[in-house]
Amino acid sequence: MGKYKVFLDANIWFSAAMSEQGGSFLICRLAQTGLIKGFANNHVLEEAERNLLLKAPQKLEAYFRLLKNTKPETVNLAPDLKFVRRLDYLLPAKDIPVVFGALATKADFLIVWNEFMREKVIELQGYSPDEIIVTGVPQFDFYARTEGLLSREEFCRRHGLDPKKKIVLYGSAGAELFDESQYVSLIKKFMEEEKLAEANILVRPHLGYKGDVDRFLVFEGRDGIVVDKTDKQNHTLRDHFDTSTNHVHNLYNSLYYADVCVNVASTLSLDAIACGTEVINFNFDIDPDINPRASVKRLFISDYVRELMATGGTHFARSKVEFLNILKDVLERRKQKNTQDAINRFIYKTDGKSAERITKALIKILSAKS
């Protein structure tokens, strides 16, 4: 049986050095016994060493012993500058070398969410169609089930919302990409000026970015605006996510009971579509004189955002006037978008069986390897 190639990022090395009890150490053991072939690049190995030096210097000896025993093959891919510029708008700079390291490893097969990813993998990473398996989004399986779904009254009680009013869910894009509090304030201003019917505004900070909730604390105590602070983060993890079943259920309830989900153009749009909730994306700046490097418009150069907009599955506001009119259309006139093209392109299926398809794909791959 041929060895499977596995790219091990800094978080795997860090966690394996910290403890021999977890899954990260097990992955390294699989590489040590020859069941898999471990890969890394210099950036990843240096990051792991640097993090241990800062957070747990007593574990450096264990880390160096781990490297000696695991013997990862180091790979480094010469950056494609055009590709780097595209990634620069989508990823923190420190993560870009990790992406290139994973690309250089080139897996035997890739399991991807959707048709959009399949096409981009073929275009940018040199995979052939028969090396790619489309399964759907396993997280979205939760949205096809009823367990964890509260009553609307109970959901509103937990978050301090008025159950008699509609709910506007504002989803943060995170990473301090722009001042998002301005858009929450704009929605509230429309209501205060009686241009828009009063509604609850529930702000969901991005769990993947450290301190994102702090950007919205300006609304603490503001009537009609609630900042969701129920989810927790774990900053020892690269992406800060400390996801639990309760976290997923809270997100599901937030999306399910929202009358509209407002966000710049994040993947939260897909979650909302999977839950049958209307989505408003926006591409305008509150400050017309803003530096282009801080403008929301710079986010719309990505293939994902452009193609999501092209499906017509979300409402799209290009100005304050359009934003107000669309909010009125959705909240007061119940205007709905046809989301089937967006589902076909970016979600694949909403049948709750994505994890099952992944399992079947893995069994098929393993059977072919044996």
What pLDDT sits at residue 21? 83
Backbone angles phi, psi at 276, to 5 degrees: 80, 25
pTM reported for the whole predicted model:
0.78
Mean pLDDT within 249-277? 96
DSSP state of 38: E
What pLDDT sits at residue 360? 86
Which of 6 and 67 is assigned the larger pLDDT?
A: 67
Residues 322 and 206 in one domain: yes
Residues 115 and 200 in one domain: no
What CATH number does residue 159 fall under?
A: 3.40.50.2000
Full residue range of the structural domain in which residue 206 is found: 148-338
Cα separation, 103 vs 200, whole angstroms: 44
Cα separation, 110 vs 108, whole angstroms: 7
Least confident of 3-17, 138-152, 350-364: 3-17
The H helix count followed by the E strand count for the chain is 15, 11
What pLDDT sits at residue 144? 94
Residues 243 and 177 in one domain: yes
Cα separation, 111 vs 128, whole angstroms: 13
What pLDDT sits at residue 366? 72
Give the model's confidence band at 1: pLDDT under 50 very low, under 70 low, under 90 confident, else very high. Answer: very low
CB neighbourhood size of 59 (10 A): 18
Residues 126 and 253 in one domain: no
Residues 94 and 158 in one domain: no
What's the chain's length in residues? Answer: 370
Given strand 36-40, what is the order of strands in its sheet?
A: 4-7, 36-40, 73-74
Q: Are 45 and 13 in contact (CB under 8 A)?
A: yes
Least confident of 228-232, 241-245, 263-267, 286-290: 241-245
What pLDDT sits at residue 88? 56
Cα separation, 363 vs 299, whole angstroms: 38
Residues 321 and 194 in one domain: yes
Residues 174 and 206 in one domain: yes
Tell me whether residue 361 is in a domain: yes
| 3-class SS of residue 260 | strand
Give the model's confidence band at 352: pLDDT under 50 very low, under 70 low, under 90 confident, else very high. Answer: very high
Cα separation, 255 vs 236, whole angstroms: 28
What pLDDT sits at residue 247? 87
Return mean pLDDT, the chain: 88
Q: From residue 348, how far is each of 117, 138, 271, 343, 353 by CA, in Å?
A: 11, 11, 12, 6, 11
Mean pLDDT within 108-136? 88
Residues 82 and 153 in one domain: no
Mean pLDDT within 174-183? 87
Residues 187 and 288 in one domain: yes
Cα separation, 203 vs 224, whole angstroms: 11
Residues 286 and 204 in one domain: yes
Tell me whether residue 164 is in a domain: yes
Cα separation, 272 vs 252, whole angstroms: 9
* Residues 53-107: tens digit of each pLDDT: 888 899 999 999 999 999 999 887 655 655 555 565 555 566 667 677 777 777 7
